[in-house]
C-alpha cells in the first residue's frame, strides 16, 4: 500500500515537472534524461511509470482534459443559460489551448490527425466532455434525443478543433474566434 502511494506521488511529481516543460518549451524540447535529473529519479523510473515520452505526453494531455472537465462542470453550475454554457465551454477550451500552445503546437502541426488520435487513445475521458456538451445541446434544442445530442457534441468538437488547427498554423487571437464559433454551433444545433 505504501509502495503504491509512493509510486502515485512520484508519478504526480514527474507529471507536474513534465507539464511545466511541455508548456514552456514544447514536446520536442523535453529530454527525458533532463526531466529525470530535475525531478531526482532515474530515466528508468519515468519509463517504468509512463512507458515512453509519448506515454508521458498522453498522461499530460489526459490530466489537462480532466482539469478542463472539472472547470467546465463548475462553470456550468454558475451559468444557467444553455447558450451561455455552450459559449463558456468553448471559450474555456480555447483559453486552455491558448495558454498551453507550446505543449500542443509541435504535435498538432506535425500530425494532422492529432485530435483524432487523442479521441482514440483517451475515449473514456473525452466521452465525459462530449456528454457535458450533449446536455447543453439538449437544453438548447429539446427536440434532440440523447444520441442525437451526443453526436452533435462530436460535431461541435470537430468544428472547434478545426479552429484550433487553423490558429496553430496561422496564429492570431484564438479567443476572438469564440463568437463566430458560437454562431455556427447554434445554427447547427437549432437547425436539427
pTM: predicted TM-score of the whole model, two decimal places: 0.85
Q: Tell me how far apart the alpha carbons of residues 184 and 21 are, in angstroms, rounded to a whole number.
A: 35
Q: Report domain extents, the chain.
A: 53-190
Give the number of other CB atoms < 10 A from CB of residue 111.
11
Q: How far apart are the first and last CA of the chain?
A: 52
Q: What is the pLDDT of residues 114-124, one digit of tens each?
A: 777 777 777 78
Residue with cell 496561422: 170
Q: Which helix (H) or strand (E) holds 169?
A: helix 146-170
pLDDT tens for residues 131-161? 999 999 999 999 999 999 999 999 999 999 9
Which string of DSSP letters, residue by residue, matches 100-126?
A: THHHHHHHHHH-TTHHHHHHHHSHHHH
Q: Report the CATH number of the 53-190 domain.
A: 1.10.357.10
Are the beta carbons of 92 and 72 closer than 8 angstroms? Answer: yes
Give the pLDDT mean for 99-125.
Answer: 77
Amino acid at each position: 500500500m505504501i509502495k503504491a502511494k509512493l509510486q502515485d506521488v512520484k508519478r504526480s511529481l514527474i507529471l507536474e515537472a513534465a507539464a511545466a516543460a511541455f508548456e514552456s518549451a514544447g514536446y520536442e524540447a523535453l529530454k527525458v534524461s533532463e526531466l529525470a535529473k530535475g525531478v531526482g529519479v532515474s530515466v528508468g523510473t519515468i519509463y517504468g511509470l509512463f512507458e515512453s515520452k509519448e506515454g508521458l505526453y498522453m498522461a499530460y494531455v489526459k490530466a489537462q482534459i480532466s482539469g478542463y472537465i472539472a472547470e467546465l462542470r463548475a462553470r456550468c453550475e454558475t451559468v444557467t443559460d444553455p447558450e451561455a454554457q455552450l459559449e463558456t465551454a468553448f471559450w474555456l477550451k480555447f483559453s486552455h489551448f491558448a495558454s498551453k500552445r507550446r505543449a500542443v503546437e509541435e504535435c498538432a502541426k506535425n500530425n494532422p490527425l492529432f485530435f483524432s488520435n487523442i479521441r482514440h487513445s483517451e475515449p473514456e475521458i473525452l466521452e465525459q466532455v462530449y456528454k457535458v456538451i450533449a446536455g447543453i445541446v439538449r437544453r438548447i434544442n429539446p427536440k434532440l434525443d440523447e444520441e442525437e445530442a451526443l453526436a452533435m457534441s462530436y460535431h461541435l468538437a470537430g468544428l472547434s478543433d478545426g479552429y484550433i488547427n487553423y490558429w496553430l498554423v496561422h496564429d492570431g487571437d484564438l479567443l476572438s474566434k469564440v463568437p463566430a464559433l458560437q454562431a455556427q454551433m447554434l445554427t447547427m444545433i437549432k437547425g436539427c
